[in-house]
A and B are shown apart, each in its own frame.
Chain A
Amino acid sequence: MEKRFDEKTKSALFEYVLRLADDNIIIGHRLSEWCGHAPMLEEDIALANIALDCIGQASALYSLAAKIDGAEKNEDDFVYFRNENQYKNLLLVEQPNTDFAYTVARQFFYDAFTIYFYDELSKTGLDPLAAILTKAVKEITYHLRHCKVWMLRLGDGTLESNQKLQSAVNDLWRFTGEMFFKDETDKFLFQQKLIPDSQQVKNKWNKLIEETFREAKIKVPNTLPNTAKGGRIGFHTEHLGHLLAEMQIVARSFPGAKW
């Protein structure tokens, strides 16, 4: 894809692909933190599976970003040797696991977004990005099914499980607007007809969220969904630094180490 585009388009595409890769590596890492700690063995394996899918998607996207950039970089350079302000992920995905209800709500918001967003994006025919996203949609279909099951069971379960999920939803709600936020990069690529309009995705997302909330007996929070943003330009919440410290320590202490 690198040959057809001028420098400006290439650099916008690089930025755009990097954002998608960052979303997936960060939420994948968050999920991997459950490994060995989930409420039951079966859920432990389920969360680790989803984590591995996300990390796999990130890996494919970083390879593509490196290709667009043309610099001699690999996936590890992006993941282990960039600082907090160089990460362009959504604030939603870096929020800590807190408890199982938080993890379920965070993943549900994210999957309900990526399932429609990646589908639209893959239709624009931007190969090989389209191929990576088409495969991702298949994986996300299962992630969403798994999270939705838990949204319904926690929301419509006991009084305690309903309260825990409601408080997770309330806390995470302000991060959801950022998924549909558009900056100069998005607007430029949209003008070039390389990416779709996010309004359609937003409508579908809203519909799925409302239906699920109703079924799960969860109330739509009365706070604005778009008060927290900045991830796309490298302004993060305090949680990302801690995540990166843990994720990067070995690679930075022993650069180039092989095992």
Chain B
Amino acid sequence: MEEKAANIGDKLWEVFVQSKQGAPHEHVGSVHAADSELALQNARDVYSRRSEAISIWVVPSDQITASAPSDKGPFFDPADDKIYRHPNFYKVPKGVRGF
């Protein structure tokens, strides 16, 4: 019984917080909660107490498919030595921001 209750409350949720209108939701950490409404409330209490947020997303951690640390080589190394893949040859006109 005890163990079951602990398991239910232990479900992990990833928290994404939007700090201002138009800004992306950024990952800030995780919370434990039994269901999505409680996860949202817990996220509000843990991550927006000092008015850091105007919107919050919570996502069940087990719904995220992530690359493994061992994937680092095959996934990301090939980009390193192919300078022609990077658009570094163009001059950015003055007045273009946020490029």
A positions within 8 Å CB-CB of B: 39-43, 45-46, 49, 142, 145-146, 149, 153, 158, 160
Contacts and interface: CB of A to CB of B under 8 A. Distances in A.
Nearest to B46: A45
Interface residues of B, number: 16
Contacts of A43: 42
Contacts of A40: 9, 32
Interface class of chain B by DSSP: helix
19 contacts: A40-B9, A41-B32, A42-B31, A42-B32, A42-B33, A42-B45, A42-B46, A45-B42, A45-B46, A46-B41, A46-B45, A49-B49, A142-B44, A146-B41, A149-B37, A153-B34, A153-B35, A153-B38, A158-B1
A158 B6 CA distance: 13
Given A49-B49, A158-B5, A160-B1, 13 more contacts: A40-B9, A40-B32, A42-B45, A42-B46, A43-B42, A45-B45, A46-B45, A145-B41, A149-B37, A149-B38, A149-B41, A153-B35, A158-B1
Interface of B: 1, 5, 9, 31-35, 37-38, 41-42, 44-46, 49
A145 B37 CA distance: 10
Nearest to B34: A153
